[in-house]
Amino acid sequence: MPFAETPLRDEYAAAVERVARLTLDALRDGSPAAALAEQPAATAPRPLLAAVRVLGADLFAPRLLAGAGPDGPTAALLAEARRVLPAPLAPSEEAARVLGWQDWAVGHLLARTPYGGAVPPPAALPGPEEVGWRAWSVRMAQLSGLALPGLDGPVHEGARRHVLGLARGTVRSLLRHDLTTAARLARWLAWTEAEGLPPRLELGPVLDRIRLAGDGSARTGLDLAVAGRLAAGSAGSGAAGGAEGSGGSADGGRAA
């Protein structure tokens, strides 16, 4: 058994990639949800639970983008992962807030299932007016999992009000060959387009570039696929998959 020799981190990373691949496949196939575990949540192996915790709200992407709500089996697995695994340690106050919002997204979706209850929103993150477009866009990239139909809150409001900041962050990431971050920010850009806001950056060529020059990982693939679906939905009438609070409220994309 190679199990004992494999460093734990590699094993967990492989699990994340595997679960992301399953989710991506489900999204592409139009399956209602990825079949993540064959056994009940209570007996799921630890690497799987860790992966589920890392991917969080993204596990529901196939369903949310199809206009459906979170599914029971995935919700059960997520709830179990949150019960078994402690929240990761945040190296800084800012990082703690980012984790808080990622957690909020999961909690918010679980609250629509029998596996969770109402969750209060964590403390707001500083906007680009305070920290500049660069630092803000990096944080938004870390929160790309929130760019999904069915989620809305202060983070989303920030995205609506600062489309240019998201676009600048995307361009910066592309120029720095950080295509993982670029994909995450492109997903936000697609989300703002799905909200009906005027684009500040042509999305198609960006997605193409990342697809062709990126690392080919399932996680980045998932970001690209979500972005593609959101953008495709915005091309027609309104947002894809019944996003809440569509229509936007601000004047869109002020300079950071």
Q: Using CB under 8 A, list all residues that contact another protein.
A: 133-134, 164, 167-168, 170-172, 174-176, 200-202, 205-206, 209, 255-256
DSSP string for 76-96: HHHHHHHHHSPPPPPSSHHHH
Task: Give whichever of 53 and 168 is closer to another protein, judged by the CB atom.
Answer: 168
Task: Give whichever of 58 and 193 is closer to another protein, judged by the CB atom.
Answer: 193
Task: Give whichever of 30 and 204 is closer to another protein, judged by the CB atom.
Answer: 204
Written as six digits, the tokens of 157 are 């409001």
**The residue count for the chain:** 256
Written as six digits, the tokens of 110 are 């679980």
CB burial class (10 A; 0-12, 13-18, 19+) of residue 204? exposed
In the complex, what is the shortest distance from the CB of residue 130 to another protein, in angstroms, rounded to a whole number?
14
DSSP string for 168-209: HHHHHHHHTT-HHHHHHHHHHHHHHHHTTPPPSS-HHHHHHH
In the complex, what is the shortest distance from the CB of residue 102 to another protein, in angstroms, rounded to a whole number?
26
Task: Give whichever of 151 and 185 is closer to another protein, judged by the CB atom.
Answer: 185
In the complex, what is the shortest distance from the CB of residue 196 to another protein, in angstroms, rounded to a whole number?
20
In the complex, what is the shortest distance from the CB of residue 179 to another protein, in angstroms, rounded to a whole number?
11
How many other C-beta atoms are found inside a 10 Å radius of the C-beta of residue 167?
Answer: 25
Task: Give whichever of 82 and 200 is closer to another protein, judged by the CB atom.
Answer: 200
The Cα 71–Cα 59 span in angstroms is: 10
In the complex, what is the shortest distance from the CB of residue 35 to another protein, in angstroms, rounded to a whole number?
38
